[in-house]
Amino acid sequence: MAAGVLGFLFGICFLSGIAFLAGYQIYYETSESMQPVIRKGSLLLVKEYEIYGPGDIVAFYTWYEGEKLCVTHRIVRELAEDAYVTKGDANCQEDREVVKKGDIMGKVVGYIPYFGYVCFWLKDNCVFLVLLLAAGLLRGHALFLEEKI
């Protein structure tokens, strides 16, 4: 079982590294504002582009209740060359704040439903995972020593 968990963790790190090298950023959908297109808990692949327009689902930073958050919403219209009005697909109203091009991290080019939950868990349980890895290494070392005797 420990080998399976370690293999899974290695796979996640490997895929994240490949995505990074290919110019993608990884984000997670933390709300239900983009349902039914993108479900809460999805892992998002985001790529930066020079031009954005209506219909594009973009990840951008905005201030909400004194905290800077990454939001994933659809551009509904362009106000100027570098200013956009956005809206979550499940929301009734457009976002109040105009999104500037400089705040956009990129366009969502793909997503893996529910895979973000795995990443949330990994992030919240990294101490547990380090202990699991240490236990696996100690067990492997003990087995190695038994074979030598």
> In whole angstroms, how far apart are CA 40 and each of 3, 36, 145?
29, 9, 47
Question: HEC profile for 30-64?
Answer: CCCCCCCCCCCCCEEEEECCCCCCCCCEEEEEEEE
**Active-site position among 31, 33, 82, 103:** 33
**Active-site position among 31, 42, 56, 73:** 73
Q: Is 56 known to be catalytic? A: no
Q: Is 141 known to be catalytic? A: no
Q: Is 33 known to be catalytic? A: yes
**Active-site position among 42, 56, 95, 103:** 95
What gap in Å lies between CA 111 and CA 89, rounded to an integer? Answer: 16
Residues annotated as catalytic are 33, 73, 95
